[in-house]
Amino acid sequence: MSVPLLEEQSGFARSVTARAPGKINVSFECGDPREDGFHPVATLYLAVGLDEQVTALYRADGEITAELDDASTIAVDRETFPVGADNLAVKAALALREATGVKAGADLRILKRVPVAGGMGGGSADAAAALVACNALWETHLTRQDLASIAARLGSDVPFALYGGAAVGLGRGEDLAPVPLRSESHWVLIPASYGLSTPKVYGELDRQRARAGLSFPAPKEVSPEVLHALLEGDPHKLAASVHNDLTPASIALAPELAHVIERAEDAGALKAIVSGSGPTLACIARSSAHAERISMQVRDELDVQTIVVSAPAAGASIVPHSGSF
């Protein structure tokens, strides 16, 4: 006769909540696609104070499901939001289970604050948070390094969401070298009301480069200027050195971005950049008060949502007091 699990005996569902940050790419260079189809990149990741949260509720029957938390602060299309094996958080939980041989399952409740398909790695943050939450829920005790090797198989941006802070990413972005920052930077994020598919943006970049007869080798490092500007915490130097190879492709697919960039810079942003593959824009401010002023002006003028954030933010972690209920 099988012994009932503690959860079944007590009738309580154990749960663990973890958070993980969204990111912006302060610098993003990319080469021509490799033989495996991935683009080689050299990027400077920066985790920002905009978190995703994943609550993992124990299931003894081994099922792993996802659902959207009603407290989510961004608009998510429930029709298209993946709740099965397509969801990156579910993929992460399945991969952890496979790596550890655990038999239990979990319902993953995802609280979304990072725009979907916005170029800020929201799905990757969900995967990182799910790894940390399930590792605690199932008591599998993997180290962060163990989790990072599972994360690298899930997606290029997932390892960074685990570690947070700032880091240079090479390879597909998963080969990370941390950049220790002593100062904060302040940003205004301008999400769009639509998403851009990352593969489509890369496809557009390849077409633009082919039309121009240009080819690019795999980048080997991020530019020293942008690295130093971030290390020094000088927003003006940062504004002068940020760079994103994907910008022309994102703007070709969403031409209105050019107008929003112009308006944000008119409102005082030292520079407005496309975050990753876009369409979210990230605007550099001199201080948090300056960011608030830019945010208000852009919101009033363009009638768009704006989010003021500081960086760097910590990597995926358990949210305290979320142990059981």
Residues within window 257-276 making contact with ligand ATP, judged by CB under 6 A: 276
**Interatomic CA distance for residues 108 and 130, integer angstroms:** 8
The reply to whether 122 sits near ligand ATP by the rule CB under 6 A is: yes
Q: How far is the CB of 25 from ligand ATP (least distance, A)?
A: 8
**Interatomic CA distance for residues 50 and 113, integer angstroms:** 7
Residue of the chain from 29, 157, 204, 245 that contacts ligand ATP (CB under 6 A) = 157
Q: How far is the CB of 79 from ligand ATP (least distance, A)?
A: 11
Centroid of chain to Cα 42: 16
The reply to whether 89 sits near ligand ATP by the rule CB under 6 A is: yes
Binding residue positions for ATP? 115-125
The reply to whether 254 sits near ligand ATP by the rule CB under 6 A is: no
**Interatomic CA distance for residues 170 and 44, integer angstroms:** 9
The reply to whether 124 sits near ligand ATP by the rule CB under 6 A is: yes
Which stretch in 39-47, 113-121, 175-183, 185-193 sits in contact with ligand ATP by CB under 6 A? Answer: 113-121
Q: How far is the CB of 224 from ligand ATP (least distance, A)?
A: 25
String of contacts with ligand ATP for each residue 19-38, x by CB under 6 A: --------------------
- How many residues bind ligand ATP (CB under 6 A)? The answer is 21
The reply to whether 120 sits near ligand ATP by the rule CB under 6 A is: yes
Helix (H) or strand (E) holding 54: strand 41-59
Residue nearest to ligand ATP (CB): 123
The reply to whether 169 sits near ligand ATP by the rule CB under 6 A is: no
The reply to whether 159 sits near ligand ATP by the rule CB under 6 A is: no
With CA atoms as reference, report the closest residue to 221 among 31, 25, 42. Answer: 42
Nearer to ligand ATP, 21 or 122 (CB): 122
Helix (H) or strand (E) holding 140: none
Residue of the chain from 123, 159, 164, 165 that contacts ligand ATP (CB under 6 A) = 123
Q: Do 295 and 303 form a contact (C-beta atoms < 8 A)? A: no
Tell me which amino acid residue 161 is. Answer: A
What DSSP designation does 324 have? B
Cite the active site residues: 23, 157
Q: How far is the CB of 125 from ligand ATP (least distance, A)?
A: 8
Nearer to ligand ATP, 123 or 312 (CB): 123
Q: Which residue has the tokens 């003028």?
A: 301
Whether the bond into 219 is cis, omega within 30 of 0: no
Q: Which residue has the tokens 């703007």?
A: 251
Binding residue positions? 115-125
Which stretch in 11-19, 34-42, 122-130, 139-147 sits in contact with ligand ATP by CB under 6 A? Answer: 122-130
Rounded-to-10 torsion of CA 26, 20, 260, 258: 50
The stretches of the chain forming alpha helices (DSSP H) are: 6-10, 88-100, 122-137, 144-154, 158-163, 198-211, 224-232, 235-241, 247-253, 256-266, 288-302
Tell me which amino acid residue 165 is. Answer: G
The reply to whether 279 sits near ligand ATP by the rule CB under 6 A is: no
Which stretch in 121-129, 185-193, 219-227, 229-237 sits in contact with ligand ATP by CB under 6 A? Answer: 121-129
Which residue pairs from 32-35 have beta carbons closer than 8 angstroms and sit at least 24 positions apart in sequence?
Answer: 32/206, 32/209, 32/215, 32/216, 32/217, 33/202, 33/206, 34/218
The reply to whether 173 sits near ligand ATP by the rule CB under 6 A is: no
Residue of the chain from 88, 106, 154, 267 that contacts ligand ATP (CB under 6 A) = 88
Residues that bind ligand ATP (CB under 6 A): 82, 86-89, 110, 116-124, 126, 157, 195, 198, 276-277
